[in-house]
Amino acid sequence: MLWGEKQIIQFYALKVRLFLLTLIIVFFLIFSWLYKMQIVEGDYYTQRAENNFLDIVQVSAKRGNIYDKNGNVLAKNIPAFNLYIIPKFLDSETVDFLKNSIKLTDEQQNELNSSLKQKKKDSFMLKEHLSSKELALIESRMFRLNGLDIVTESIRHYPNSSITAHIVGYINKITPKEFQEKKDLGYLNDDYIGRTGAEGYLEDYLHGKNGKKIVIRDQSGKIKKDGFLQQLIDKKNKEFSPVEEGNDVYLTLDLDLQKEIDEIFFNVRSGAAVVMDVDTGDILALYSKPTFDPNRIILKDDKNYLKEIFKDELQPTLNKAFKQFYPGSVFKLVTALAAVDSGNFTEDETVDCKGVEEYGATSFRCWKRTGHGSVNLKKAIAESCDVYFYRVAKKIGLDEINKYAKMIGIGSNYSDFITDVPSGFVPNEKWYRERYGRYQKGTALNTSIGQGDVYLSPFKIAEIYMTTANLGVRKQINLLERVVGFDGKERYDRKIIQKTTEISPYSFQKVNKGLYSAINDPNGTAYYFRLNDVLVSGKTGTAQVASKTSDEYDFEIPWNLRHHAWFTSFAPSYKPEIVVTVLVEHGGSSSTAVPLGMKIIKAYETLKSKRIHAQFIKERTKMEAKRESLLYGDLIE
């Protein structure tokens, strides 16, 4: 049959209708599918879409800086690059790359492997403080890597490293237990927490509050900065509590003095120095030797270093200024106070020193075998006559010494933030009875010269001598001077707090005469080291560690059996400004400690006059400028 145009049209009309029918079905399918997606499951898709590109990350608050009283930096933050893993985006290629190019511990490798399997895990920090080499390697390959994030955070840095290591302290990773306790205070599970020194005491001021924020991630898990979406998530971010940066703190320390002390202690193997302001109770310097580098503890780049400093028998990480030692002769101050204040001894009452004092069957020796002859209170302190104090102890008994020790502040702490310092120990009769079952009266004699069971830290001795310099006014010891919030507001109201001891100021005056003579009287124990331009009052001390015969020289016996050398002083004598306490552990005799103390006083005076001079120059320049503008101001205009 031959088809005409009409048949052709009819033939095609049928096919076209079939085609049209198919089309209608397909369009209806698309229509209903769109209805399902947009109307029925619209919220689900919105949620899925947001989950897919929005991610909640933690924002760590910046830790506050630590400054000294003059604004010198003691601790600050420097930028560090941390590697984060977002398991949702991680692929095996990236994992292989990381394993090959970055130093990872076994633990980190396991973490990496497990996050490849568990895609739903939250993002976490894999490695902290990437080296610049590692950073460059990752950045150069970043466009091919998925599920990685390099976050610029900060690392703690101590510019003066070992010089201020003990008093500024260091920070460390929070332990899981601590984290459970402090979770609500805005800590993160891999957060840092102040461990020792000011970092520890002032943790609440320094540590800010961490927060959370929403970020946008692209297909490979990298954080995307997009102006349009930013507005959207900014709204959502308002629901989170904001990040609170840590506050900056200003310590009472004087960094320049601390540095001087570090140099003065150049030859000392082990020891400590404490300098306090007599008027305010501020700690001006606190130094302990041997010391360590806190930056290396934080970096953890060298495991041997950590082992080294924690295994060292000299205990570099231990703050020797807070460690208790036998005080030796520096304790005689307390015995002397007990003697005059209780009324048992008058200032001028003399004791005949023959170099030895018999008590029962035991003979107690004076350090000077030939004896001091006739000794009154002033001479006893100046020449550190043991026999005088034996007599005192005999007469007033152990409990009286203990009582006065308590009155002057031993056994109690009086400080703004320093809590971990031992408060010192002086025994009484009851303590001996409880401990040994009986009390031997001879122990009072040992106690009177700071031996036996008396334990005091350099910090405590400085405190006692500060109270003496203030004639019985006990000042609260301060470490914190100012707290400046991240918004520039002052957060701390500093006060000078003091209380008066029950000991009469006259008794202190009497004792102070002895302390003055110890340095300025030709027979005084520290006369040889006196300073030309500053009058210093003080007391030397040589504390026995193990009994030795007097014939032996220091270099003949092992280091750790040698005596501790003490020197504590305040200066200037007539209007005390600072108290300086120096301990040289196993220094042999006090003559190793005294020159150090004197140098510290000298350094303080030099610094003071330098600052006054600088201030003077500044004022003068200002005045000259003013004068010039008054004279020639019109001409210049």
Interface positions with other proteins (CB under 8 A): 2-6, 8-9, 11-13, 15-16, 19-20, 23, 26-27, 29-31, 33-35, 37-39, 41-46, 48-49, 52-53, 88-89, 91, 146, 216, 218-219, 224, 226-229, 232
Minimum distance between the CB of residue 152 and other proteins, rounded to whole angstroms?
23
Nearest-CA neighbor of 320 among 579, 564, 550, 527? 564
Residue 348, classified by CB atoms within 10 Å of its CB into exposed (0-12), middle (13-18) or buried (19+), is: exposed
Quick check: 168 and 199 in contact, CB under 8 A? yes
Quick check: 480 and 251 in contact, CB under 8 A? yes
Minimum distance between the CB of residue 237 and other proteins, rounded to whole angstroms?
15
In three-state secondary structure terms, 287 is: strand
Nearer to other proteins (CB atom), residue 3 or residue 436: 3
Minimum distance between the CB of residue 144 and other proteins, rounded to whole angstroms?
14
The C-alpha atoms of residue 331 and residue 402 are separated, in whole angstroms, by 12
Quick check: 169 and 385 in contact, CB under 8 A? no
Nearer to other proteins (CB atom), residue 48 or residue 627: 48
Place of tokens 């460390």: 172
3-state secondary structure labels for all residues of 521-586: CCCCCCHHHCCCCCCCEEEEEEECCCCCCCCCCHHHCCHHHCCEEEEEEEECCCCCCEEEEEEECC
Nearer to other proteins (CB atom), residue 93 or residue 420: 93
Minimum distance between the CB of residue 17 and other proteins, rounded to whole angstroms?
10
Minimum distance between the CB of residue 610 and other proteins, rounded to whole angstroms?
59
The C-alpha atoms of residue 206 and residue 65 are separated, in whole angstroms, by 7
Nearer to other proteins (CB atom), residue 5 or residue 637: 5
Minimum distance between the CB of residue 48 and other proteins, rounded to whole angstroms?
6
Nearer to other proteins (CB atom), residue 41 or residue 490: 41
Nearer to other proteins (CB atom), residue 33 or residue 240: 33
Minimum distance between the CB of residue 209 and other proteins, rounded to whole angstroms?
30
Minimum distance between the CB of residue 133 and other proteins, rounded to whole angstroms?
29
The C-alpha atoms of residue 593 and residue 580 are separated, in whole angstroms, by 11
Beta-strand runs (E) in 97-138: 124-127
Place of tokens 């010891």: 477
Pairing mode, if any, of strands 373-375 and 351-353?
antiparallel
The C-alpha atoms of residue 61 and residue 77 are separated, in whole angstroms, by 11
Token representation of residue 117: 């399997």
- 228 contact partners, CB below 8 Å, separation of at least 6: none
Minimum distance between the CB of residue 232 and other proteins, rounded to whole angstroms?
6
Nearer to other proteins (CB atom), residue 33 or residue 436: 33
| Phi-psi category of residue 381: left, alpha or beta, with phi > 0 → left and psi -120 to 50 → alpha | alpha
The C-alpha atoms of residue 397 and residue 442 are separated, in whole angstroms, by 10
Minimum distance between the CB of residue 22 and other proteins, rounded to whole angstroms?
9
Nearest-CA neighbor of 337 among 215, 471, 452? 471
Minimum distance between the CB of residue 89 and other proteins, rounded to whole angstroms?
6
Nearer to other proteins (CB atom), residue 36 or residue 269: 36
Nearer to other proteins (CB atom), residue 231 or residue 419: 231
Quick check: 63 and 77 in contact, CB under 8 A? yes
Nearer to other proteins (CB atom), residue 48 or residue 133: 48
Nearer to other proteins (CB atom), residue 189 or residue 219: 219
Pairing mode, if any, of strands 248-251 and 66-67?
parallel
